Structure 1
Amino acid sequence: MGKQTNLFSFPDVASLAPALRAYVIQCQNAGIARHGVFKVAVSGGSLPATLAKALLTPTSPQAAATLATPPAEGSDETVRFDKWEIFFADERAVPLDHEDSNYGLLKSELLDKIPASAGQPIVHPVDTSVLEDAQELADKYEQVLVASFASRDSVRLPIFDLLLLGCGPDGHTCSLFPGHELLRETSAWVSPIEDSPKPPSRRITLTLPVVTHSVHIAFVATGGGKKEIMRQIFDEESGLPCALVNNGAGDRCSWFVDNAAVEGVSFPKRGYNL
Structure 2
Amino acid sequence: MPTLYSFKQKDVLCSALGKYVKRASRESIKARGRFTIALSGGSLPSQLAQGIVEDESIEWDKWFVFFADERAVPLNDHDSNYRLAEDALFSKVPIPRDQIFAIDQNFLNDTQELADVYEKDLVRVFAAKETVKIPAFDCMLLGVGPDGHTCSLFPNHELLRENIAWVSPIEDSPKPPPRRITLTLTVVTHAHNIAFVAAGQSKQDILVKVLETPDEGLPASLVNQMGGDRVTWFVDDEASKLTVFPKKEFKL
Q: TM-score range by the shorter chain?
A: over 0.9
1:209 to 176, 179, 186: 186
1:174 to 130, 151, 159: 151
Q: Is the 8 A contact 1:146 1:152 kept in 2?
A: no
The alpha carbon displacement at 1:166 in A equals 0.7
Q: How does 1:79-158 map to 2 (within 5 A)?
A: 79-114=58-93, 120=96, 122-150=99-127, 154-158=131-135
Q: Distance in 1 between matches of 2:242 and 2:248?
A: 14
What SS does the corresponding residue of 1:262 show, helix, strand or coil? coil
What SS does the corresponding residue of 2:229 show, helix, strand or coil? helix
> Do structure 1's residue 44 and structure 2's residue 31 form an aligned pair?
no
Q: Is the 8 A contact 1:223 1:261 kept in 2?
A: yes
- For residue 194 of structure 1, what is the aligned residue in structure 2? 171
Q: Distance in 2 between matches of 1:223 and 1:54?
A: 18
Matched residue type, 1:20: L
- For residue 250 of structure 2, what is the aligned residue in structure 1? 272
- For residue 196 of structure 2, what is the aligned residue in structure 1? 219
Q: Distance in 2 between matches of 1:248 and 1:152?
A: 28
Q: Distance in 2 between matches of 1:120 and 1:263?
A: 40
Deviations 1:84-132 (A, max 9, x none): 1100100000000000000011001111122x5xx54620000100100
Q: Is the 8 A contact 1:92 1:101 kept in 2?
A: yes
Matched residue type, 2:71: R
Q: Distance in 2 between matches of 1:271 and 1:175?
A: 31
2:240 to 234, 237, 262: 262
Matched residue type, 2:121: V
The alpha carbon displacement at 1:151 in A equals 5.2
Deviations 1:115-174 (A, max 9, x none): x5xx54620000100100000000000000001100597111001000011111111110
What SS does the corresponding residue of 1:16 show, helix, strand or coil? helix
What SS does the corresponding residue of 2:174 show, helix, strand or coil? coil
- For residue 22 of structure 2, what is the aligned residue in structure 1? 25
1:242 to 220, 226, 249: 220
**RMSD over aligned Cα atoms:** 1.4
Q: Distance in 2 between matches of 1:182 and 1:56?
A: 35
Matched residue type, 2:69: D
My pick for the range that moved more, 264-273 or 89-98, is 264-273
Q: Is the 8 A contact 1:10 1:271 kept in 2?
A: no
What SS does the corresponding residue of 2:70 show, helix, strand or coil? strand
What SS does the corresponding residue of 2:239 show, helix, strand or coil? helix
Q: Distance in 2 between matches of 1:170 and 1:246?
A: 15
Q: Tell me which structure has the larger Cα radius of gyration.
A: 1
Matched residue type, 1:262: S
Q: Distance in 1 between matches of 2:31 and 2:122?
A: 18
Q: Distance in 1 between matches of 2:18 and 2:130?
A: 35
Give the fraction of aligned pairs with identical amino acids, expressed as a percent. Answer: 51
Where structure 1 has 5 or more consecutive residues not aligned to the other structure, the ranges are 58-62, 67-77
Where structure 2 has 5 or more consecutive residues not aligned to the other structure, the ranges are none
- For residue 15 of structure 1, what is the aligned residue in structure 2? 12
